[in-house]
Amino acid sequence: MLLPFHNESETEAGCDEAGRGCLAGPVFAAAVILPVDFSHPFLNDSKQLTENQRLELRPIIEREALAWSVVSLSPSEIDQLNILWASVEGMHRAVRQLKLTPTSLLIDGNRFKPYPGIPHHCMVKGDGRFMSIAAASILAKTYRDEYMETLAVHYPQYGWEKNKGYPTAEHREAIRQHGPTSEHRRSFRLLPIGEQAQLF
């Protein structure tokens, strides 16, 4: 069962990202401040939910949250910063866009760069432990999936409407046959080392 807060006396923003392990597309990050009495029967880590459950929860979170925001960082930004720090930068930007300033940040994972003026707590597997992080994971995931489905219309050969840019066998075979696009992350290993050298 998810916890509603880490410290009830704080205004906590849960932060999470989606798309870190993908070969293509942006990484999305979200920050969510929920009321302390928020509840929903199937709120959970987005990876534990069906697509329909995530899509059902998204408007509920957006309507009932005290504040929420979602941002994305492009493949070129990911290549410049590396995926870990691009994810952290995304969370910083998401916090910065909140209409309500939190007094504490709950970060999914074990690495973060301090946000100016707001203490943070890194929570390993936090999206399965705290409601606000789970809510952030759902927003980041649904917005990213939607974006990748839109991209798939322009790049139909890569199957992004299904794989969302993750390194499936079909996605890698499409890269092998058609080469990478401007949406692929050049700092990632798109193909085995010998083949990767021939891509760029």
Q: Where are the domains of the chain?
A: 12-153
- For strands 27-33 and 104-108, give the pairing: unpaired
Entry pTM? 0.95
- In this prediction, residue 197 carries a pLDDT of 62
- In this prediction, residue 200 carries a pLDDT of 63
pLDDT at residue 190 is higher than 80: yes
- In this prediction, residue 176 carries a pLDDT of 93
User: What is 12-153's CATH number, 3.40.50.2000, 3.30.420.10, 3.30.70.20, 3.90.180.10?
Assistant: 3.30.420.10
- In this prediction, residue 193 carries a pLDDT of 72
- Residue 17 backbone dihedrals phi, psi, to 5 degrees: -130, 170
Per-residue model confidence as pLDDT tens digits over 22-74? 999 999 999 999 999 999 998 988 889 999 999 999 999 999 999 999 999 99
- In this prediction, residue 129 carries a pLDDT of 96
pLDDT at residue 86 is higher than 90: yes
Exposed/middle/buried for residue 160 (C-beta within 10 Å: 0-12, 13-18, 19+): buried
Answer for the pair 139, 68: CB distance below 8 angstroms, yes or no: yes
